[in-house]
Structure 1
Amino acid sequence: MDLHWLKPLLGRPSPFTTVFIDATRAEVAGEAETADRWRSLRRSLERDGAPAGVLDEIGDLLAVPTGARGPHGRVIVADAEGVRVDRLLSEPPAQSTAVHGPLPALLPAIRSADEAVSALLVVADRTGADLVWRSLGAAAEGARESETVEGGHDDVHKTREGGLDRRSQTRAEDSWQRNAEAVAAAVDRAVREKSPDLVLLTGDTRAVGFVRDALGQEARGALVEVAGGGRGDGVNEAAFEAKVAAAAEDFRRARRAGVLDRFATAQGRGENTVTSLDDVVAVLARGQVSELVLDVGALSALAARELFVGPGPLELATSEEDLAAIGVDDGSRYTADIALVRAALGQEAGVTFAEDSPLDLVDGVGALLRWSDDSTPSEAVPSQSADQARLRTVL
């Protein structure tokens, strides 16, 4: 999972204030329930020493209605100077929480963000298409960026007679195809610029076929055809949205499965993976990680363990002595789950949550590596940091 939306937090001054709140609009009370939740959280943050100016800014943001419908959450993260991240989430938290400390408490928000899928919806007919950018699974669906592509060839109607009218039919099909090529060119350009997770194609059956055939390789690689959409009246919106949601869920499952399959394959070969908290900390501190893998069932145990961290995201260790060895004499203690995610963000690694997975994740944590060398902790031989009890017999 890409964590680019959290990059504004890198290099920012501590302490951090993290608010993870149920922002669902109440049926009767309007926005009052969110305000009530915030008042309770603010009192807790004030006791913990959060700056009044930062709390005022967060309160002002929460006072503005999100415009999102249905249950949703919101995560707001501020550094010592002000708010840096404000993001709507597809699922509200089971309990609204707020944390003030040396690191942002991001794990719940990242788990919710894992559900978001960026999509370019292409609704095509014989004359052109509407291109709509959507974030499926994110609550911030209210503001959708869109554009209309008109092909410019308006001879798009066939006749049912024979004879000379066959020429009209040929001209109509040629216009359909040329209009589809214009749509495909716009889609290809949009995909190159923004790299959506999915390209959802719907609309007139013949137009969909022409657009599909004219797309470039990159767009085709993300393409999913979804029946039931259209540019005109008469579309069953509820049925169509259900199909869009199903396509997004299929993508989520495939995205997680792809990472976990790569991890399992590499682990089976004894290369470019590590597991156990000690070893994952070691490779995170060296910037070797491409994907951090966390077992959902072990998150509470990770939250109960502490790591030692410095001001930089890659400055982390399992002991004060190890932190001092990398040049940090005045570090802080923080829970392992938050420190691991912060270090992953600091090296532009992804985060994948494994649920009901057969992976052998010691301590509930593993990492896929970008590179390794002789000093990288090994799954096959003892290392200084590895738990000896986890070593498997290598045949």
Structure 2
Amino acid sequence: MDLAFLHPLYEHPGPWASVYVDTSRHTADTPHERHLAAVAVARELSAQGADDDTCVAAREALEELRHSSEPHGRAVFARAGQVVLDPPLTRAPDGSLVRWAPLPHTAPLLELAGEDPVCVVAYVDRKGADFELRGALGRRGAGSVTGKQWPVHRTSTSDWSERHFQLRVENTWEHNAAEIADALAVCQEETGADLLILVGDEREKRSVHERLPKRLHGLVVEAEHGAGSRLLDEDVQQARTAHVRQRAERELERFLAARAPGDDGRPGAVEGVPALVEAAREHRIHELLVRPDGSDAHREVWIGEDPDQVAVRRTDLKVLGEQNSWSARADDALIRSAVATGAPALSVTPAPEEEVPVGGLGALLRWT
């Protein structure tokens, strides 16, 4: 997950109100229920020590969602009476989450607004293709391409002239497949799509797939649906979920391989809070890995005003020359450090027999 959108949260000092709300249920009573939920959130923030202005700002931001048709939910981050960031979620949270703390509680975003692969679905036939952009927040048309319209159908005779005609049909198919592949490559570049789903007859899908640039081959999924079919939302969601899972598995494999010392005797990955805190101070986190159920995620660390001012013990910050310090969750402190150095973060769920990273927090390292 690219964390650049979180920069506004670290341009201001805390404390912060962090709220995650579910907007996935829609009934006649929804506006009233959301009003009550907004009031309850403000009351909970106040009970945790938030100032009145910030409580009001959070409540008003949630009140604005009373009639929202958002399919999943929203996160709200506020301080000093102002909402600084309120990103939509791509998955509904399990109930409301309300927190008042020195740092914004951004760790849940890795699961709830993390990998959100955008898909281009290409409905392919012998004459061309229609493209549709699909994501967590809906669908829209993304263009079309029309190839040669004649001849496109074979005959069954063995007459020489008919065999010549069939060769022209073959040439038309190949030409149209190349046209579709070129247009699909342009569509992917323009939309930044993470996944390309081909729908159509087997031969047509394969012909287009083979003609796509090699850089896109790893993004292609050939749907089981034949020509004339339309992908349902659940079909696209399955493909998107599989894409996210496979990417996380690849990164986890990289992490496991990098834990062993390299030729220079140093590992390319670390796990556990002390090692990660050291890496954060030295700006060496290349990619942060977070296991949502990890025991270290909520472990207490100490932070200063700057992102690289993080320590396992409060006295360590004083040794580093930081006079002001606050306690924070390890995952939120490490995410702040990752944002400051441009490192991405990824939520990983290992196989049941594994516990990787140990404690739930790990990182691939960069060397400076």
Whether the aligned pair in 2 keeps the contact of 1:74 and 1:88 (CA below 8 Å) is: yes
The residue aligned with 2:276 is: 280
Q: Report the TM-score when normalising by structure 2.
A: 0.84
Q: In the alignment, which residue of structure 2 is the partner of 1:311?
A: 305
Alignment partner, residue 245 of structure 1: 237
Q: Residue 20 of structure 1 corresponds to which residue in structure 2? A: 20
Are 2:262 and 1:267 equivalent residues in the alignment?
A: no
Q: Over the residues paired in the alignment, what is the CA RMSD in angstroms? A: 2.9
DSSP-derived class of the 2:176 partner: helix
1:1-395 equivalences under 5 Å are 1-12=1-12, 14-47=14-47, 48-49=50-51, 50-51=53-54, 54-55=57-58, 57-68=60-71, 72-80=72-80, 81-90=82-91, 92-114=92-114, 116-135=116-135, 138=136, 140-141=137-138, 144-160=139-155, 162=157, 163=159, 164-228=161-225, 230=227, 232=228, 235=229, 237-238=231-232, 241-269=233-261, 271-299=267-295, 301-303=296-298, 305-347=299-341, 348-355=343-350, 356=352, 358-359=354-355, 361-371=357-367
- CA distance, structure 2, for counterparts of residue 8 and residue 166 of structure 1: 67
CA contact under 8 A between 2:18 and 2:76: conserved in structure 1? yes
Q: Check conservation: 2:9, 2:84, Cα contact below 8 A.
A: no
Q: Quote the Cα distance in structure 2 between the aligned partners of 1:156 and 1:112.
A: 50
Deviations 1:332-388 (A, max 9, x none): 22122221222223222323334436356454422210126xxxxxxxxxxxxxxxx
C-alpha contact 1:286 1:314 (8 A) present in aligned 2: yes
Structure 1 residues 236-257: Cα deviation after superposition (integer angstroms, max 9, x where no partner)? 655xx55433333332332222
Q: Rate the CA distance shift 1:292–1:154 in 2: closer, same or farther, 3 A.
A: same
Aligned-residue sequence identity (percent) comes to: 27
* Contact in 2 for aligned 1:25/1:31 (Cα 8 Å): no
Distance 2:8 2:176 in 1: 41
Three-state SS of the structure 2 residue aligned to 1:117 is coil
**Residue 41 of structure 1: CA displacement?**
0.8
Structure 2 CA distance for aligned equivalents of residues 176 and 282 of structure 1: 59
Aligned equivalents of 1:45, 1:108: Cα separation in 2: 18
What is the letter of the counterpart of residue 207 of structure 2?
Answer: F
- Equivalent residue of 1:104, what SS? coil
Alpha-carbon shift at residue 178 of structure 1 (Å): 2.4
Q: Partner letter of residue 307 of structure 1? A: V
The amino acid of 1:279's aligned partner reads A
Q: Any idea what SS the aligned residue of 1:74 has?
A: strand
Tell me: CA distance 1:267–1:345, structure 2 relative to 1, closer, same or farther (3 Å). Answer: same
Classify the secondary structure of the residue corresponding to 2:334. Answer: helix
Shift of 1:222: 1.3
Q: Could you list the structure 1 runs, at least 4 aligned residues long, displaced by more than 6 angstroms after superposition.
A: none
**Given the superposition, is the C-alpha separation of residues 267 and 161 from structure 1 closer, same or farther in structure 2, using an over 3 Å criterion?**
closer
When residues 213 and 236 of structure 1 are mapped into structure 2, their CA distance, relative to the original with a 3 A threshold, is closer
Paired residue secondary structure (2:132) = strand
Secondary structure in structure 1 of the residue aligned to 2:181 = helix
CA distance in 2, matches of 1:166, 1:78: 72
**Post-superposition offset of 1:168:** 4.3
Local SS of the residue matching 1:103: coil
Give the deviation of 1:281 after TM superposition. Answer: 0.6
d(CA) in 1 for partners of 2:356 and 2:209? 41
The 2-side partners of 1:229 and 1:328 are apart by: 64
Q: CA deviation at 1:225?
A: 0.9
CA distance in 2, matches of 1:9, 1:324: 25
Aligned residues: 356
Cα distance between partner residues in 2 of 1:168 and 1:318: 77
Pair 36,338 (structure 1): closer, same or farther in 2 beyond 3 Å: same
Comparing 282-291 with 267-276, which one deviates more in the overlay? Answer: 267-276
Letter in 2 for 1:268: A
Work out the CA distance in 2 between the residues paired with 1:246 and 1:52.
39
Amino acid paired to 1:338? D
